[in-house]
Structure 1
């Protein structure tokens, strides 16, 4: 209760001394009823029969008790309507206690008759709650209701349930401000302790109210409701409960016409919910695909914090073939290709990821992206002069790999756009995460056509691959060695490589017998074996100061090393014979 409210109430009591006596008596009556219900709830926990029916009755008693507790600090002298309910409630409580006692003692006459009595009892409590709600709806609670304190860390489940029941009462019967405060309290506990999520779901009315509040014309209530639903939708076990309560349609409407914060939270909720393809159909059925496409592709993708999760929803929806076809018909591919040009990096990244999802295992869409200039834009985003982050560059590189590496014509187009120069730049200057991805792409390129291998050799990939042979990352070392061994199979690349002053020596140096078990050594042997097919290559190997590494490995019965030494020896012997014959 605020200070001003307390002073106002105190002034009224000072003006009317008799009011103190009235309030004291009436408050005592209300307090006694609350205590009776609390005691009865505890007593019913010992009942072993008709467990389901007693649980539903207890739920109603807890809800009624929360409503009465909320009224306890009202000015009852001015609001006697609440007190008019007390006699009827106490009568029901007494009846309930009698029935509970008979169930505990198993002294009832028959199961069917007792089930009927329990149904009547449930209906009476439900009527009391309805009457109390009607009183509150008329505005009696006003600003005087106290708020039940939030249970502390490690509180019992019963305390947590009592607190939730109190929140439920305020959500049902409070004015706008009380609803807002209750929603804020609800969001606070649901983020602190996931046990509350289960209690909310078990208390089905809370989920229904949250869904209902999504349609609220009051911005703060809508925002708080979307936040709660977004949190709950993150639990796989409860997604079905939300969808069953009809959450999809109002979330779509919030995304279409809500305020920014509500839109963002609605988009995040939809993203989590549509991880299940069945829910994707529900979004489509409520016009969500059109709403999402319009939202994501209007205004250069500047949809604030809601743009990223909205794109995430579309990626989830694209997993359903029929919905994906509808997106294509609605111009989604063309619209998202344009977003690759966006100056907003989040828009770029999400547009690229969306297109990648759309084109996955779909050749017509892949061709559409290429035809509409998508590949050229992706390569342009890799310009070294760009201020793009490493994440943006890596997203573009992954998309290029998935879109272009399955077709020779696409690879030729990629190289024509200057992709090799971009790749080589990041091979030399990229951050570790980017460099690993670039090496992977270089490795994959080296396994394609002869023309691509020649182009890589001409561009200067081989010296950079040699430099990476002792990188910290095992994956980078191995891919660099394998790519190098593949490139030197091409005679033009081999001649170019041999011309280098130190590359052969560097490979021999890395064949240290103490470290020969490293995974990339087999590819280094393969590269050396290719180089022995050239006179100059053999000569450089023989003249290297690190030839002893190779010889030691051959002595240790390393098959690849013995093969290379044998080839060097055979060719030396042939040279001697040629000299004798020529003499």
Structure 2
């Protein structure tokens, strides 16, 4: 026998095996098509069809592998062909409605479904045994952008099949490809949601003993959780408990992906209780307390706890577990995400609870926040804005907290942001200054000494009505303090601008006019203030308002008319 004949003879079993395999794949595809025509026992046929599609993908993978002459595969193919033939007969009878009885057909469908489970298990064992090599390690190409939904479904099912029956590397690669697909094209998330059984399969991989598989699964789920319409799908598949188990036992990257997924899922407070019920709060606090975890993990862990802090019982549990000292420390982190989430968490924990606010103060929370907004600190504008909001939330309900702010240069920080901050920080600083000015005479004095009034004057003709209103409100309170009033009146331009803004033709609200007039009324308590008002070329605006029966304007005119400046005035005196 020649060498060529020997090779041909040697390849015969393999060729026969592949011929049988291809025939089985084709027959499976035909059965899947036929199953779509069944109109009875829809739920059972849907379950069977899912198993058929998984087996079909698995056999295609076998076909792509170099399995040599393996009798195990031959045996599987032959036994599967028998089951497919039986199922084909059942499908045909369901399509033709030619079965003898419903109960008997239901029983037959249950039996055939069980047989397909056995075949799937056998196929998994073949992969686990490492019999197959070659082509299956290379995941099939993703359909091009804009491909039809059927092609996308096939691709997703192929990946899930590889995840179910492949070795660790195959599973890791399939998860990586699925993550790329969902991250780059939202349509793949639609496909996953439509194939509800696939979501359950993906969630189950969170409990894999391989941390790389946990990591890849959590990354896929984190992308899906980013879409509000699909969060319920993950919750329904029981995703929260295994995500928390990954937080407890996974690798660093897996924990990070799980935390990011939980941040998105807990944006809906209804899911907070599920996180707590599975020990999530304790696991997250442990991460935040750990000196071994990186900022990439601590940041989203803080984010989850920040969401959970909206529930009063969880806030109190966090406090009992020492969360305040933990997050006061993390507020000094060099990582922006960790800083912001920690500060917002402190704010949320203390919201509406004076006792917890005092605990934050005692743990050095205010001093820590003041360090964040220190102009020389390297913090971003976003972090500073977050810290300013937290200070506003934590400090303005307590005189002692206001005292701490005044003693630790808070006023100097505010005026710096008024002069140099980005618009959002500048407006927030202005808002806080208005609130601070209303707290006490000491606060008004501190603001005046720092030069706040001159900065506030600059905002009086701002394009923003809200900014104008805040500026005039703060000024009207600050000029009630004698030394502030004297300082304000020293610059004639201040009085001139106030009078100019009272022009009846300007579109200021009545409340703004009322506050502007109250500033002028305060200034009339000093000789220099009355003189500068009376000598201003814009005094006519007050007279016009008085003629229009504006009560406060008439009151101001009377005040000016009762002294030696009477001759400088014109218009009406008394009505």
Normalization by structure 1: what TM-score?
A: 0.86
Give 2:167's match in structure 1, choosing from 170, 175, 192: 175
Q: Which residue of 1 aligns with 2:223?
A: 231
- SS of corresponding position for 2:112: helix
Q: CA deviation at 1:21?
A: 4.5
2:245 & 2:91 partners in 1: Cα distance?
47
Q: Is the 8 A contact 1:295 1:303 kept in 2?
A: no
Asked if 1:18 corresponds to 2:44, the answer is no
Q: CA deviation at 1:257?
A: 4.6
Q: Which residue of 1 aligns with 2:412?
A: 421
2:38 & 2:201 partners in 1: Cα distance?
31
Q: Which residue of 2 aligns with 1:473?
A: 464
The answer for unaligned runs of 5 or more in structure 2 is: 569-575
Q: Which residue of 2 aligns with 1:463?
A: 454
Asked if 1:350 corresponds to 2:341, the answer is yes
Q: Deviations over 1:232-263 (max 9, x none)?
A: 33344554554565544543343345433222
Q: CA deviation at 1:182?
A: 0.8
Spell out the pairing of 1:164-563 with structure 2 (5 A cutoff): 164-201=156-193, 203=195, 206-216=198-208, 218-236=210-228, 238-239=230-231, 242-243=234-235, 245=237, 247-277=239-269, 279-299=271-291, 303-517=294-508, 520-551=512-543, 557=548, 559=550, 562-563=553-554
Q: Is the 8 A contact 1:260 1:306 kept in 2?
A: yes
Judged with a 3 Å threshold, the aligned counterparts in structure 2 of structure 1 residues 14 and 66 are, in CA distance, closer, same or farther, namely: farther
Q: CA deviation at 1:325?
A: 2.6
Q: Which residue of 1 aligns with 2:102?
A: 111
Taking only aligned residues, the RMSD between alpha carbons, in angstroms, comes to 3.2
Judged with a 3 Å threshold, the aligned counterparts in structure 2 of structure 1 residues 294 and 52 are, in CA distance, closer, same or farther, namely: closer
Q: Which residue of 1 aligns with 2:128?
A: 137
Q: Is the 8 A contact 1:19 1:77 kept in 2?
A: no
Q: CA deviation at 1:13?
A: 10
1:137 & 1:151 partners in 2: Cα distance?
28
Q: CA deviation at 1:365?
A: 1.0
Q: Is the 8 A contact 1:170 1:182 kept in 2?
A: yes
Q: CA deviation at 1:175?
A: 1.7
Q: Is the 8 A contact 2:330 2:338 kept in 1?
A: yes
Q: CA deviation at 1:497?
A: 1.7
Q: Is the 8 A contact 1:446 1:483 kept in 2?
A: yes
1:351 & 1:13 partners in 2: Cα distance?
74
Judged with a 3 Å threshold, the aligned counterparts in structure 2 of structure 1 residues 378 and 244 are, in CA distance, closer, same or farther, namely: same
- SS of corresponding position for 2:32: helix
Q: Which residue of 2 aligns with 1:580?
A: none
2:70 & 2:128 partners in 1: Cα distance?
13
Normalization by structure 2: what TM-score?
A: 0.88
Q: Which residue of 2 aligns with 1:5?
A: none
1:558 & 1:575 partners in 2: Cα distance?
20
2:204 & 2:305 partners in 1: Cα distance?
25
2:551 & 2:460 partners in 1: Cα distance?
18
The 10-residue stretch of structure 1 (544-553 or 42-51) with the greater mean CA deviation from structure 2:
544-553
Q: Deviations over 1:515-539 (max 9, x none)?
A: 3346844533442344345443332
Q: CA deviation at 1:174?
A: 1.1
1:343 & 1:192 partners in 2: Cα distance?
31
Q: Which residue of 1 aligns with 2:141?
A: 149
2:56 & 2:133 partners in 1: Cα distance?
18
The 10-residue stretch of structure 1 (172-181 or 435-444) with the greater mean CA deviation from structure 2:
172-181
Q: CA deviation at 1:225?
A: 1.7
1:349 & 1:101 partners in 2: Cα distance?
63
Judged with a 3 Å threshold, the aligned counterparts in structure 2 of structure 1 residues 139 and 15 are, in CA distance, closer, same or farther, namely: farther
Asked if 1:94 corresponds to 2:73, the answer is no
Q: Give the 4+ runs in structure 1 shifted more than 6 A.
A: 12-15
Q: Deviations over 1:259-308 (max 9, x none)?
A: 33222112112222333455434444444333322321333x96231111
1:26 & 1:292 partners in 2: Cα distance?
54
The 10-residue stretch of structure 1 (512-521 or 168-177) with the greater mean CA deviation from structure 2:
512-521
How many residues are paired up?
564
Q: Is the 8 A contact 1:375 1:400 kept in 2?
A: yes
Judged with a 3 Å threshold, the aligned counterparts in structure 2 of structure 1 residues 497 and 14 are, in CA distance, closer, same or farther, namely: farther
Q: Is the 8 A contact 2:485 2:523 kept in 1?
A: yes
Judged with a 3 Å threshold, the aligned counterparts in structure 2 of structure 1 residues 212 and 396 are, in CA distance, closer, same or farther, namely: same
1:354 & 1:537 partners in 2: Cα distance?
48
Q: Deviations over 1:116-149 (max 9, x none)?
A: 2322332232222222222222222222336443
The answer for unaligned runs of 5 or more in structure 1 is: 1-11, 578-583
